[in-house]
Amino acid sequence: MLTLYGKTLTSRLMLGTAQYPSPKILTEAIAASGTEVITVSLRRETAEGSGAGFWDILRESGAHILPNTAGCHSAQEAVTTARMARELFGTNWIKLEVIGDSDTLQPDVFGLVEAAEILCADGFEVFPYTTDDLVVGARLVAAGCRVLMPWGAPIGSGQGLRNPEALRTMRAHFPDIPLVVDAGIGRPSDACAAMELGMDAVLLNTAVARAGDPVTMARAMAGAIEAGRAGFEANPMERRDMAVPSTPLLGLAELA
């Protein structure tokens, strides 16, 4: 079980809702993934005019809605968008994004911390999209965030985990804070690797939405996350520099 801001979840997969080929495929992908948290960008969906059908899909999924501030490039933009999302969705949950670079979509960590301080003080339960930097993570926790969402790689890149050692270090440094890898996951093996590092969940969008078969990919991601978590909890063997025989030598017959 995973608990985020007092809500207990059985699924450790969070799914984005953008870029799907059709509403039907989005609906089927959500169901196939088993997710209990779906994210939606207020700015993007308002700009694209998705209409009532899109909102019906979100409501009928039964999942928790995690609005996000995608597309915001300043703390004030993000704060304003978060407050609008709270009014629209009736939730204090907000995935906080403050983008600092238009090419890499890397978070502006200074604006991120500023916005997090304002929103946490305003009663929001903030899920900050951040880098894998320990100091930034500590500042976000000090601001009131009870979840951290470090990136695996740039948004939509599908590069997987570019710095697994940094994520492993974050896990050790924040043992009691849920860590959700957000951005960069491209394949089920990437999601499994994140969970084997001890991450608590994975949030992904493009890897499913842009797959040749989004529904099958959603199901595959769910299975990979479950397997990776089980592998972490099983306390896997350490890597070795040399071969070690699995069959004991003691008791073997000596053949002349």
H or E, element range at 109: helix 109-121
| pLDDT above 90 for 59 | no
Helix, coil or strand: residue 103:
coil
Q: Catalytic: 7? A: no
Using an 8 Å Cβ cutoff, are 217 and 28 in contact? no
Mean pLDDT of the chain: 92
Q: Which of 4, 20, 21 is nearest to 12 (CA)?
A: 4
Q: Does residue 216 have a known ligand-binding role?
A: no
If one counts every other C-beta atom within 10 angstroms of the C-beta of residue 234, the result is 9
Is 50 exceeded by the pLDDT of residue 45? yes
Domains of the chain are 10-231 (3.20.20.70)
Helix (H) or strand (E) holding 129: strand 125-130
Which of 95, 139, 219, 229 does the annotation list as catalytic?
95
> What is residue 250's predicted lDDT score, i.e. its pLDDT?
65
- Per the annotation, does 183 bind a ligand? yes
Q: Is 156 annotated as a binding residue?
A: yes
Contacting residues for 104 by C-beta, under 8 A, at least 6 apart = 154
pLDDT of residue 238: 87
Please tell me the distance from the alpha carbon of residue 163 to that of residue 194, in angstroms, as a whole number. 11
Q: Is residue 110 scored above 80 in pLDDT?
A: yes
What sign does the dihedral 84-157-201-13 (CA atoms) show? positive
Task: Summarize pLDDT for 95-104 with one digit per residue, the tens.
Answer: 999 999 888 8
Q: Please, where are the H alpha helices in 2-74?
A: 23-33, 42-48, 52-61
Look up the pTM and report it: 0.90
What does the pLDDT look like over 227-242, one tens digit per residue? 999 999 999 888 888 8
